[in-house]
Structure formats: structure tokens, C-alpha cells
Amino acid sequence: MMNLPQITPYIFFTGKGGVGKTSLASATAIKLADEGKSVLLISTDPASNLKEVLETEVAEKITPINGIENLHAVNIDPEMSAEEYRNRVISPMEDILPAKDIEKMREELSGACTTEIAAFDEFARYVAGDEDDQPYDVIIFDTAPTGHTLRLLELPAAWSDFIESNPDGASCIGPSSALKTSQERYKKVVEKLQDEGSTTIYLVSRPDSSALREADRSGKELEEMGLANQVLLINGYFEPVDESDPFAIKMKKRADDTLENMPDRLKKMEQLVFPLRPYNLLGLDRLRTVFEPLDKEQIKQNSQSILTEQHESELPDLDSLVDDLSSEKDHGLIMTMGKGGVGKTIIAAAVAFKLAQRGYSVHLTTTDPAAHLLDQIGELDIPENLTVDRIDPDKEKQAYIEKVLNHRGKDKTEEELKLLREDLESPCTEEVAVFQAFSKAIQQAKRKFVVVDTAPTGHTLLLLDTTGSYHKEVLRNSKMGTDKLKTPYMYLQDPEYSKLLIVALPETTPITEAARLQDDLRRSNIEPYAWIANQSMSATEISDPLLKQRAAEEVPLLEEIETKHAKKLYAIPWIAEELVLENLLKERIEKQTKTV
């Protein structure tokens, strides 16, 4: 039995989407409740599937969990909280500002920052509650706030005056009067979070380099805010059941190598490692196994029927995708989209290389750190007809911030400048800045294939369009007729010119998040071309019983994508080798050799 570290009254789980935060948070809640503690589990995850995980209808009100006497849960819907928050911000302004400014404010308050602030506003009330009336021994939060959110909440109460006198100012929080919790109570919340005897932060990751980098980044950010009591949870570590399966052996080696090379800060932290299970962690019985060691003999017995069945994907592969993308034109814009850690960069690079192998002129541009991309390329020769460059998000963002400060910062107080600068540190700002750099690459797609990793979100595109930051500004200042002028935003809306690819892992949470991203794009009148199920176990040649069971559980999820979400769906197998791109391209070369 695996033991948890010292239990504090407040426990936060944070990490990339799809790493297993909800599963581990729920399993921890069940374990503590089984041990006799009174536990409240609070989820603010927009992709939360607590209903399926806990087999109980969890909603906006605190609900007892079926079959567990000491456990309650509540699911704070961040979108609903954000909409209520937007209404509280905008209602007092409706009789003061013109309709166009109201529209602009609503869109500015539609981003991830506002959603996070509104959700934190909700669950802060649980932390700031009267300790004498606290009915729970432990409150578990899935997920933790970011350092950016906490910094915004620490800013002075100049919010109201600032937003009222500058309707084009802060784009994240709006006036402080819209918050349910006062700044004084926020101060108490932050003090509790900073108290190591009160709060533990669990940084959740998989044995995957991008997830570990995100855990390291968020851990540093929270530590800077004084939340230093952190524990690293490595979820989904694979231990082969069939030692003769070459794929299984390679998969374990890759995980071991990744963990060996994790950031030094994470290496020094207290760690817990949770093995990859043969099933998705849905239901109380399965969740109770999370802290138990793997029973390999039991897995072999349970796999007898599965091993005799075929669970191989018949979905078209990456080569089929490239064939389809180049079937009608020798140019165009191709963009990979998706949440962090799903493999957007690798897929963008693979598509670019495969198009170049077919003789097309291709340009690949990415926001991924150049060294990481070059590591993935390895010793591969870059074809003469393929050019690669990198847009530096930090550089673009800082240049954009300085431009905005120079434009908006005149005659402002130090407090107002501090608020504006902190507001501009939001992820939305980076997306706007990067999109302007992307715009140059978009024009090249008139004469060659341009593959971009990654596209901006629908919110960013709509924000640009609504505020006139780019789209309307171009139209307004151009001497060309609107029937002849085509802005980058319009190119993205043109399905003949642009093909947007949504990348997801064939797992519940990543699929839910990808579907939300697609809805966001459609709100901007942009229709994705296809979905890609990356790291698909059912598209991989395996004999290991544990992996076979996972492949079987993947099948209904792929069916869900096909029937509910994607117009086209392609599947890419799990690559166990470290140089993923090189092996994706080798597969094509081997197929060509066999054909010859």
C-alpha cells in the first residue's frame, strides 16, 4: 500500500490536461474518507468528469457520494461562474457605455483568465470560511489556481476605477465589485495557501517531458507566490507484464529516460509514482486500486479473452492525412491545435516532412523551443524544399506589451500601470502577439504549404476581430475594397485555404478539452478539417496484456470522436522510441520499400 505524505487541511492538484488530476484527486479523497476523515472534493476543471469517476451526479451544490459516508463533492462549473461574473461586471455599464464598448468588454472577459478568476472566486469562499464551522477535515481541490491568478488577486482595489475610466484596459478581471469574495478575504485565503501546515500542492505529471516541464513551470510559479509545500506525483508509469513484448520494453525505457532527465527542481522534491493501470480510473472500485501495487498475475488472467480479440484501429493513418491534404492543391495553410502535451509539435513536423518528401515546397513554423524541435528531428536531414523557423512567444509577447504600455500607459498612476502590466502578462496576450507574427507566415501559404504549430484559440481570434486589434484595423486603414481585401482572420475562416487539425489523446479528459476547443473555433466561424487521435494504443502492434486491455478501452472513445465530434478522424500509433519524429517518418519509408 502506498502512503500519502502528511495530510494538510487543504490539498491542491495541478498539472496539464489529461495527466490524471481528477482521478488522483478522487482516489485521494476516497482513501482519506475510508480512513475516517470527513472530506470535501471540489472540482473547478472545465473538463471535469466527476460524475463518471465517482458514479454520482455531482453538481453545483455539495453532494454526498454514493457508497462513501464521509465524502462529499461539488463541481464548480467555471463557464457558468464566468458568465455570472461577466454579467456582474457588465450590467452596471450598460446604461453608461455605448453598445460597441459593451460588446468589446464581454469578449475581453471571455478568455481563460476570466474563467479562472471566476472559478477561484467561487472556491475561495470554502477556504476563507469560518474555521469554527468547518465541517470537513480535508478539502481537496481539483485544480489549483495559477500563480498569475493569485498575483491578480493580490493587486490593489484600483480595479473598479481603472476599468470604468479605461474600457479598453484590463481584459481579465474587470471591477473588484464583481467578485463575490472581498479582497480582505482573499488575503486570508492566500495566507492559508502559503501556510505549509495548512496546504499541500500536488504537481501531477506523466513520465512525459512536456508534462514534466509544465509541472516544473507551475510549481515555480506557485512557489514564487509562497505556495512551497509541493509534492510531485508521477502518474501512469508503465511496468511491462509481458517481458517479451519489444514495444513494452521500449515504452518502459523511454519513461525511465524521461524521468532521469526531468528538471533538477523536480528531482529534489518528494515524489510518489503511480503505475499505469490496464483500465481507465472510473468508479469507486477502480479508484480504490490507485494506491495498491500492480497485480500482474491478475492482469494476465483478466486479459485472456482480450488477447484473442482484435483491437487494432482501422482508422486512416498519418500518411493518409498527408495524402488528403495534398490531393487537390500544392499549397495552403495547415495548423495543429490542441491542449499541451498531446503532440501538436511532432505532428506538425511530421506533416511538413512528409509533404516535403512528396516534392512540395513547405515552410514549418513553430512556437516550440527550437532545441526541443531539433532534438525531435535528431539526425534527419532537412530537405532543401523544407524551411523551418521558430516564433519566440516570449519575445513577441514582451514586444507587444511594451507597445501597449507606450500606447495606453500615458498619464496613469503607478498602481494603474502595475495592474495593466500584470493584466498583459496573461496567456491571452501571448496568443495575440504570436498571432500577429503568424500573420506573416499565413501569407506564404498562397504559394507553398505552410505548417503552423500551434494555432491561436477561437477566443483570441474573436477578441482580435471584435476589438479591431487586427482584423477591423486592417479593414479600416486599407484603401482596398473589402471585397478584395483578405485579412489573416479571414484566411483561417476559408476551408479551401486553411486546414486546422485538432490533436487529442484517445482519453476522456483530452477528448472533452478538444471538443471545447472545437466549439470555441466554431464560435469564430472556423471549422476544423479533422481530428487526430495521437498515441493510439489500438493503432499499435502490441502483445502486452496490460496494453491490450488499454487498447480495448480506447475503442469506444474513438467511436465517440467519430460520431460526435470529428468530420474526419485519423489515428497515430504510440511511438515508444525517444526520437518520435524520426520513427514516424521511418514508417513511411518502410511502407514505400514494401510496396516496391
| Tens-digit pLDDT profile for residues 9-58 | 999 998 877 788 888 999 999 999 999 999 999 887 655 677 778 878 88
Least confident of 45-54, 386-395, 448-457, 537-546: 45-54
Model confidence band, residue 587 (pLDDT cutoffs 50, 70, 90): low
How far is residue 175's CA from residue 112's CA, in Å, rounded to a whole number? 17
The C-alpha atoms of residue 278 and residue 20 are separated, in whole angstroms, by 14
Closest C-alpha among 475, 499, 496, 497 to residue 487: 475
- Summarize pLDDT for 504-543 with one digit per residue, the tens: 999 887 888 889 889 888 888 889 999 999 999 998 888 8
Name the DSSP letter for residue 45: -
Q: Do residue 289 and residue 326 come from a single domain?
A: no
CA distance 467 to 103: 9
State how far the Cα of 550 lies from the Cα of 239, in Å rounded to an integer.
13
In this structure, are strands 362-366 and 498-504 parallel, antiparallel, or unpaired? unpaired
Amino acid making up residue 572 = I
pLDDT-derived band of residue 455, with 50, 70 and 90 as boundaries?
Answer: low
In a domain, 89, yes or no: yes
Inside any domain, residue 235: yes
Asked if residues 471 and 478 have their Cβ atoms less than 8 Å apart, the reply is no
Domain final position from 256, 279, 294? 294
Q: 241 and 286 in one domain?
A: yes
Residue 305 lies in a domain: no
Look at residue 15 in the predicted model and tell me its pLDDT: 84
> Could you tell me the residue range of the domain that residue 514 belongs to?
318-392+440-595
State the cell numbers at 238.
Answer: 508503465
Both 520 and 564 in a single domain?
yes
Q: Is residue 427 included in any domain, yes or no? A: no
Mark whether 195 and 330 lie in a shared domain. Answer: no
**148 and 49 inside one domain:** yes
**Residue 364 covered by a domain:** yes
- Do 212 and 244 fall into the same domain? yes
Residue 483 C-alpha cell reads as 471585397
391 with 365: CB under 8 angstroms? yes
Higher pLDDT, 212 or 104: 212
Q: Is the pTM of this model over 0.85?
A: no
Q: State the average pLDDT over residues 92-115.
A: 75
290 in the same domain as 338: no
Number of domains observed in the structure of the chain: 2
Q: Cβ of 100: how many Cβ atoms within 10 Å?
A: 12
Residues designated as active site: 18, 20-23, 45, 509
Q: Are residues 508 and 360 in the same domain?
A: yes
Q: Please indicate, yes or no, whether residues 338 and 272 belong to a single structural domain of this protein.
A: no
Residue-by-residue DSSP string for 256-288: HHHHHTS-HHHHTSEEEEEEPPSS---SHHHHT
Domain shared by 220 and 145, yes or no: yes
Q: Is the pLDDT of residue 170 over 50?
A: no
Would residue 307 count as lying in a domain?
Answer: no
Task: Compute the distance between CA of residue 21 and CA of residue 15 in angstroms, rounded to an integer.
Answer: 7
State residue 163's pLDDT score.
44
**Whole-number pLDDT of residue 437:** 74
Q: Judge if 474 and 326 occupy the same domain.
A: yes
- 485: domain CATH number? 3.40.50.300
Per-position DSSP letters for 462-477, written without gaps between them: HHHHHHTSSHHHHHHH
Residue 168's pLDDT is 47
Does residue 417 fall inside a structural domain? no
The reported pLDDT for the residue numbered 46 is 59
For residue 416, being part of any structural domain is answered with: no
How far is it, in rounded angstroms, from Cα 69 to Cα 24?
19
397-438: pLDDT as tens digits: 888 888 878 877 777 777 777 777 777 776 667 777 777 777
Indicate if 41 and 163 belong to the same structural domain: yes
The residue among 294, 329, 348 that closes a domain is: 294
DSSP of 109-177, one letter per residue?
TTSHHHHHHHHHHHHHHHHSS-GGG---SEEEEESPPPHHHHHHHHS-TTHHHHHHH-TTS-SSS--GG
Is pLDDT at 480 greater than 70 in this prediction? Answer: no
* pLDDT, position 112: 65
